[in-house]
Amino acid sequence: MPNSLAYLMLTLWPAVTLAMYLWMPPRSAVIWSILAGYMLLPAATTLDLPGLPGLNKYSIPSLFGYVYASLILGRIIPLFPETRLGRIFCVMLLLAPFLTVATNRDLIFVTRDNVLPALRLYDAVSVLLGQLGTLCIWALARDILSDARALRQVVTAIVVAFLWYSVPMLYEVRMSPQLHIMIYGFFQHDFMQMMRQGGFRPIVFLEHGLLVAILTAMSAMLAVVLARSAPREDANRWYLAAAYLLVVLVLCKSMAALVYAIFLMPMLLILSPRRLMQIAMGMGVVILSYPILRTLDVIPTDWMAEMAGRMSADRAQSLQFRFDNEDALLAHAMQRPLFGWGGWARAVVHDPVTGQDISVADGLWVISMGYGGFFSFIAQFGLLLLPVFLLGRAHRAAGREVGILAAGVSLVLALNMVDLLPNASITPVTWLISGSLLGYLEALRRAAPDADQAQAGSVPVARKRAAFAGLVGVPSHGPRSLL
């Protein structure tokens, strides 16, 4: 049970967020309020307020940050992107809870004593307000962190944050995962799952050790991206940071995250930005088509479990257990494939005799399919992957080649989305990266007409872009821009 400090931290964090927005530039405030809130606030703890959905480490920094940013900048931060497809995905994401409720007004009779309730409008509103918490992160990043310098600032902040976070991580590797207990009075997950290979995997203040591992892997890869895109005199320190984070990742004892890093870091080191972009797009296609491929039994799950068995029998058993549960959950989801089953345990598999839940949902894709069907899955995954698919088109429209920073970030984002297939590893970092990358691409597309006019000999590019520069943080004259 959370102690008083856990609730006090959540209660005070709106004030901490306000202080950041008052004393920091808006870009830094957006980045650090979200990262610090997620990495330091207690996990599995919710402030339940009368008539409102619960507030937690996901929603407090984003919702209050959205309000503060709108007040400080003197305008409402738009939730909807400029891209038509992005607007469609946003509308789908906001409509999905209501469509799910509308198609699940019936009772589910599992057994005589176990009857699952029909969904109500309150359920849709509750889910919608929860989704707004993550959507506000994406909107803040897309609107405020919307140029190449801001994208680099986001990447740098993530790497630096996990360099610092490695200190408590190494402590827990040596002393066991106990910081959350020591500070917030309870352990946020199953302690046995933090024991691996005769030692411990760190969890610190996140929800699971696997989240710590995948974020450490992403940070190591982003350090390589920073090294390749930095001046030569600064590159070596980022390479050292990547090597250090890779060592920490090994100590996290997560085979999947380590395989991701070992497989993709050489690509980030040697491949061209164009090739990295193509690989990211290919990964995105696989992710969006994965539910259909699993439904058609195209994914070689038996072969994958066999390959895992060559490394460890325990890992093979764990992977096969996931696949078996995915099969059962997917078969149940296909009974209502369009809008899913909704909450109140309607999306899980029950024993027909005892009425007990006999399924375990690990991957976010199957959780999304069960709750909201294909409609919800496409909305959420399509929105997050949108910048990956727009990367090449936006650069072509601006008459530019894809740079290593944008291409590398898109590959790391695609990797995070790949990990959502076996795990529910979506975090505020995912939404922050996706929103910032899309904001950068939208700014690039807005600058494209200027380039076309310059080629026609009408207006010099430098003059046109200088007039617009104040909106993206590089004012050419006059007072310092808020952004």
What's 199's DSSP letter?
E
Query: In this predicted model, what pLDDT tens digit does every residue of 146-162 receive, in sequence order?
Result: 999 999 999 999 999 99
Domain region containing 27: 1-77
Where does a domain end: 209, 243, 263?
Answer: 263
Q: Are residues 95 and 62 located together in one domain of the fold?
A: no
* CA gap 183, 45 in Å, rounded: 13
Q: Are residues 71 and 84 located together in one domain of the fold?
A: no
What's 112's DSSP letter?
S
* CA gap 93, 408 in Å, rounded: 27
* CA gap 93, 98 in Å, rounded: 10
Say if 466 falls within a structural domain: no
Q: Are residues 293 and 413 located together in one domain of the fold?
A: yes
pLDDT of 476 reads: 34
pLDDT of 317 reads: 83
Per-residue pLDDT of the chain in tens (483 residues, 90 and over written 9): 899 999 999 999 999 999 999 999 999 999 999 999 999 999 999 988 776 678 899 999 999 999 999 999 999 999 999 999 999 999 999 999 999 999 999 999 998 888 999 999 989 998 998 899 899 999 999 999 999 999 999 999 999 999 999 999 999 999 999 999 999 999 998 888 898 888 999 999 999 999 999 999 999 999 999 999 998 889 999 999 999 999 999 999 998 999 999 999 999 999 999 999 999 999 999 999 999 999 888 888 888 888 877 777 777 788 888 899 999 999 999 999 999 999 999 999 998 888 899 999 899 999 999 999 999 999 999 999 999 999 999 999 888 999 999 999 999 999 999 999 999 989 999 999 999 999 999 999 887 654 334 333 333 333 333 333 333 333 333 333 332
pLDDT of 388 reads: 98
Q: Are residues 69 and 86 located together in one domain of the fold?
A: no
Q: Are residues 280 and 421 located together in one domain of the fold?
A: yes
State the Cα angle at 38 between 33 and 39, rounded to 5°. Answer: 105
Say if 463 falls within a structural domain: no
Q: Are residues 286 and 317 located together in one domain of the fold?
A: yes
Query: In this predicted model, what pLDDT tens digit does every residue of 164-187 receive, in sequence order?
Result: 999 999 999 999 999 999 999 999
Q: Are residues 101 and 176 located together in one domain of the fold?
A: no
Q: Are residues 277 and 370 located together in one domain of the fold?
A: yes
Q: Are residues 51 and 110 located together in one domain of the fold?
A: no
Long-range contacts of 261-270 (CB under 8 A, 24+ apart): 261/217, 261/220, 261/221, 264/221, 264/411, 264/412, 264/415, 265/220, 265/221, 265/224, 267/411, 268/221, 268/224, 268/225, 268/228, 268/408, 268/411, 269/224, 269/228
Q: Are residues 229 and 283 located together in one domain of the fold?
A: no
| Structural tokens at position 357 | 């839940």
Total domains in the chain come to 3
DSSP letters for 208-275: -HHHHHHHHHHHHHHHHHHHHHS-HHHHHHHHHHHHHHHHHHHHTT-HHHHHHHHHHHHHHHHS-HHH
